[in-house]
A and B are shown apart, each in its own frame.
Chain A
Amino acid sequence: DVKVTQSSRYLVKRTGEKVFLECVQDMDHENMFWYRQDPGLGLRLIYFSYDVKMKEKGDIPEGYSVSREKKERFSLILESASTNQTSMYLCASSLSLRRAELDEQFFGPGTRLTVL
């Protein structure tokens, strides 16, 4: 089974802190994604990575950055946390970019971040 793990289930941080959210997948997937999930808004894509050191902005990248130094690990960084970044953060992975068929995404359990 594909497993996507996230470093924390719950996290509480203060405004202005730098926050790191870690995601690891164990199936050699090329694509990794960071989403945030808010009630009534569904999942919104923050950043997408299709290979090591390669990244692409999603729909709401402002206030976030990412790092992918190894294929299995994709980190989301909040440079200076703000209260409007309080949310559920979901990491996902999928097999490959270079396929005509759209691959299923496998999701981690999520990190519920509260910024005070």
Chain B
Amino acid sequence: AQSVTQLDSHVSVSEGTPVLLRCNYSSSYSPSLFWYVQHPNKGLQLLLKYTSAATLVKGINGFEAEFKKSETSFHLTKPSAHMSDAAEYFCVVSREWGYQKVTFGTGTKLQVIP
């Protein structure tokens, strides 16, 4: 079965420093992968999506993620954190090819220190 593991439940960075949120996946086929963000008291919003077109995926708000099949990873990065990036981030993997159900990771809360 497909699964995702978010390696850190909490990450704390200083404003202006790089962000790295780690995600490893397990899949028996080449999966689709997403990152979603949830700001406090708001709904989830798609940050970016990988569907095998290109291994480096650029998303909104300066975030990007790289699909590494050999490492089964899909880490989320941003060169310089902004206070508005403080939120919870979820890594998501598809379950079966051509099927719309997904599996969510347990989430990583990003704290940005001024």
Contacts and interface: CB of A to CB of B under 8 A. Distances in A.
Contact of B44 (A31, A96, A99, A107): A107
Contacts of B99: 97
Contact of B101 (A42, A45, A109): A45
Interface residues of A, number: 28
A21 interface: no
A48 interface: yes
Nearest to A92: B44
B25 interface: no
A43 B101 contact: no
A101 B43 contact: no
Interface of B: 9, 32, 34, 42-46, 49, 51, 90, 94, 97-102, 104-107
8 closest pairs, A vs B, by CB? Answer: A102-B32, A43-B104, A42-B106, A42-B104, A107-B44, A107-B43, A109-B43, A102-B94
